[in-house]
Each structure stands twice: as structure tokens, then as C-alpha cells.
Chain A
């Protein structure tokens, strides 16, 4: 299935099956077959390592935004030593523009549970925690029900399907903090603390939850795993873009006629997503810019989008990133100063405050942008903003500072005229 052929794509993560969230329906449609194969079909899978190899070969790139090969991440876990080992599933989903994992919780929770169980077997994990953002309380309840159903059917617990494999599965949730989507911050939050990201190394595979080996994967990433096991790594890697294969849940929001989440192959052209999938621009307006994968990914002007598709290579060449594939569409009436100020406000509000460059930097970005927005800006403020971004990036424990700096740098650089015009209207305008 090529990216260009997206019109003939049939959803596999969230297929068109009524009541698929119910465990009986999921089973009738081949659900938990992949888990059975992994645990009991010794001809197909000869132990945990063979599962890791298959997933690695499929090249499932992390759907939480970082895009790291999931199987490769699994292989970083140290050998089992008889002590507890953890899988922490990241359902915090808080990056502005991102609203996809909730679709899995709602429509196909068991594919995620099955994927997590296969991951647990592959890494000899003893306990799985799924961490969902606190605002998603309705989805928390749906997951609790799904996990209980899987316990009742014997897919979770002791001696699963007679294989001798044991694992626990717990649903936990947050209470409002974007930073808890950062993997080590999430571990702190699961441990019942303020969500302060941890210094790395040690990496979670060495010291994660309660100091024990831990792997963290996104919900959509784990949901791809049963598909890979059932259909094979090459089936998966032939879907969509070559270097970023597989199905993707695109979240499209902003000034389009049909915003929403769409499951399609990776690598769909941006223009197709906007004009065909999402029904075109609202009110017949012209496209001004997009943010391709959540608020931290650099904005692209409409004239930068010719031939660009939603895969990591194409977006990198264009000057941005795939991130979470949460595409925010902006029309010609959008005020980029207002948008950037609001993004800066978000990161300032969500900075955990551990590192000075981030705690103070995000504050200054917001303050200066508010000054410009209010018509009191000076042209030199733009260079001051750019200077602040260079003092934030790469100087902090986690990537929140970078996520706050990139949109400022790229929005100002790519819409410099608009920012200068706003400053020049001010009575303080210099030059």
C-alpha cells in the first residue's frame, strides 16, 4: 500500500467493525490471536528475542513524537534477573494539536492491550502501567473496563494461555500536567510525585520505575504490534512511507471543513490531507500555514508545502517534523503573532520549573510576545526572542525547552514580515 494510494486504504488500527471495543467482538475478529501465536506457537516465535526481532524489522517508529524504532528500544532492556520489570504505556497525549490515542481507548482498546502484552512478553516484563491524562477520565473508565475484561478472559494475569507467562496490568491517570507526557516525568508521576523529568543517563531501560528496568511506549505504537505479529514485519513496513512505515492516526484540526482523526498510511501528501481528507479549507479561505505534528513542530508556510508529505524525511527536508501527526491548519486570516504568543503561553504554563533556561526562558518568550501582540513591540525584540531560544535549546534536563524554543524561532523566521509590521506600528518601533 503506497502513500499515494491512500484512497484505497482500509483501516487496521481502528477498523470499521461495530462494537469492536467489546472483547467478544474483538476476539471474533481475530483479536488476541497475535498474543496466542507469540505465547504458544513455538514454530513461529521461538522465545522473546524472536518477537523483538520481528518488531524491530517492522520499523514501527514511535508515534508519541520522537519516532524511534520501537523494537530497537525494546532491545535496550537488560537481561532479566528475576526482579520486577516494567512497561509504562504513555497515554498522556497533551501536545496541542494531538488527539489520537483517545480514539484507540474508545474504539479499539484491546488492540492496545494485546500490543502491550506482546511487548511485555518480548521484554519479560512483570507489570504494565498505562498512564492516561487525567482530563480523559471517560477514556480511563473505558480502559479500566477493557483491562478487567481481558483479566476475566485470562489474557492478563498468571500463566496466560497456559504459557507460564505472568503479567499484571494497571490503569493509572494524571491530574493535569503536560510535562507528564515526557517519559521520565511520567515515571515520576506514576510513582506519586511531582512530574519532574529525570536526568538521563541512567535511561529508563536501566533505572525506570522504582529503579527497575522500564520501557516506555506510546499507545498508538503498541497498538501496531499485534498487526506486525499477525501479518509480518514486511507487510507492515510496506505500508506508506519507506522510512516511516505503517498506519498513522492523523489528527487534523484548525480551519478545515472536516476536522477529526483519520487512519491512513504514513506519508499522505499534506495537500491531500487538507483538501480531500479534511474536506478543504473552511469558508473557502486560502491556506496560510500548517503545524504538522503538534505545537512544538516548526510551522510551515503554504508556499513551503509543494510536494511535501506526512513522513519524517519529507517534513525534515521541508524544515519541520512529523511529531505526533497532529496537523493544525491555519487560513489566510490567521494572526501569526497571536498564535505564537498562545503557543508560548502554553509552554510557559507547562514548564515544570526545574531548569532555569526553561523556567525563565519560557516566561520571557511569553512576555515579549505579549508585548508585541499588544502593539508595544520593537523590531529589536524579534532578535531578542531569537537570542533567547538559542539560550534554551539543549540546555535543560528534558526537551520542553526545545519544544518551546522551536516554534518561536521558526515562526519568527518564516513570518518575519508579519512580526516586523506589528512592531513597526508600535510607538516604540526602532528601525
Chain B
């Protein structure tokens, strides 16, 4: 399959390039544009990014493979990134991970057969006070997880309802 950027993508890419004194710094943001468009940055997509920016394919490949959020292969429609790092580990992050694995019948790193869900175990997402938590497809954080909350999330996602932004108040604030 040949991948192509849309006209809007190309306009966005021009805006990105204008932020920097040279082209190379556009690599990360344009990989994001590509991933948002195609859902992943497989080697074919990396080639498109390289050609669009006039940069060596090896450079784009190097960048794409360094950063964990870029999907180097096709993933499920929803990717559940379950944090199991320090504070989440202490607060039951592994229980949440294993519950999701059992519920979906896959292991971390795998995708369900219907292509709906991928599950990954990830490193600290910077939500330590709201542990255990997960992130849905590089987007919304879902905090203070319980098994019930996970079940509801999966049910909602199956119906195409993505979670809203959860505002985590600072506990001493009165506003």
C-alpha cells in the first residue's frame, strides 16, 4: 500500500518546519503527523516521512526506533499502555495488567484477533499519585484504576466511546 500525506498534513508539516532553523528537527513531529494519519510508522511510512522532509531514510528509521511511542508495526485500534513502574507497581499496577490480559485473552505486547486492542506494559507515565493508571493509544490517561473501572473502559471502547480527560485536582486546593 502506498502511503500519502493529505493536503492538510502537508500544510501542518510546513508549519512544523517553520519552528526550527533547519529541517531535521521536524523529524519527531512529522513522525507524529504520520502516526496520527496512518495509525503506525511502519518502514513504508518512515520512507514517506524521509522523502517528504528530504532526509535520509536511515535517519528517520533511527529516530522512529529510538522512541517507544511510535508504533513500528500495526497495532490494535486501541492500545492500552498499562504503567507498572514504581508507584503503579506499589499500588497494584501488575494486578491491573494481568486483569486486562485475562479479560482480553492476550499477553502484554500482543493484539486481540479482532484487531480491537493491544496491551503494553510501559514505564512511568508521570501520574504516580493517581496509580494504578493506563494511557489509551498515546492519548487520554485513565487514573485510579480498579478492575471495575477497567471493565467499564473496555466496554466503552468496544462501543467506540473514548475516555474523557480526567482532571486530577491538587488535594489542598480549594478552587
Contact = CB atoms under 8 A, between A and B. Distances in A.
Interface of A: 11, 14, 16-18, 84, 93-99, 102-103, 106-107, 133-138, 170, 172-178, 189-195, 210, 251-255, 258-263, 277, 291, 295, 326, 328, 330, 334, 338-339, 342-343, 346, 349-350, 352
17 contacts: A16-B173, A17-B175, A136-B126, A175-B28, A189-B28, A193-B24, A195-B67, A253-B91, A255-B90, A260-B130, A262-B171, A263-B170, A263-B172, A338-B89, A346-B124, A349-B123, A350-B123
Contact of B29 (A14, A172, A291): A172
B31 interface: yes
Contacts of B46: none
B7 interface: no
Contacts of B62: 193-194
Given A107-B170, A194-B62, A262-B171, A210 B21 contact: yes
Interface of B: 19-22, 24-29, 31-32, 59, 62-63, 66-70, 84-87, 89-91, 123-131, 135, 138-141, 165, 167-175
B159 to A, nearest CB: 22
B89 A260 contact: no
A102 B171 CA distance: 15
Contacts of B63: 192-194
Contact of B123 (A18, A170, A346): A346
B138 A191 contact: no
Contacts of B172: 11, 262-263, 277
A134 B129 contact: no
A96 B87 contact: yes
A188 B110 CA distance: 32
Nearest to B30: A192
B123 A210 contact: no
Contacts of A136: 126
B170 A97 contact: no
A261 B127 CA distance: 10
A339 B21 CA distance: 44
A11 B124 contact: no
Contact of A193 (B27, B29, B127, B171): B27
A18 B130 CA distance: 22
A17 B26 CA distance: 37
Contacts of A190: 25
B129 A99 contact: yes
B140 A138 contact: yes
The 8 closest A-B pairs by CB, nearest first: A175-B67, A176-B68, A176-B69, A253-B128, A192-B27, A259-B129, A253-B87, A192-B25
Contacts of A254: 87, 90-91, 128
Given A135-B138, A259-B131, A102 B126 contact: yes
Contacts of B175: 16-18
A189 B171 CA distance: 34
Given A94-B126, A295-B124, 8 more contacts: A17-B175, A98-B126, A134-B32, A135-B125, A175-B67, A193-B59, A263-B170, A350-B123
Contact of A137 (B19, B31, B138): B138
B86 A174 contact: no
A329 B93 CA distance: 16
B59 to A, nearest CB: 8
A251 B62 CA distance: 34
Contacts of B85: 96, 295, 342, 346
Given A190-B25, A253-B129, A253-B131, A134 B138 contact: yes
B87 A178 contact: no
Contacts of B135: 135
Contacts of B69: 134-135, 174-176
A177 B68 contact: yes
B86 A342 contact: yes
A14 B173 contact: yes
Nearest to B124: A96
Contact of B67 (A134, A330, A334): A134
B28 A342 contact: no
B127 A175 contact: no
Given A96-B124, A177-B66, A328 B90 contact: yes
A177 B67 contact: yes
Contacts of A14: 170, 173
A178 B19 contact: no
A299 to B, nearest CB: 11
Contacts of A258: 171
B126 A175 contact: no
A34 B27 CA distance: 36
Nearest to B130: A259
Contacts of B124: 94-98, 178, 295, 346
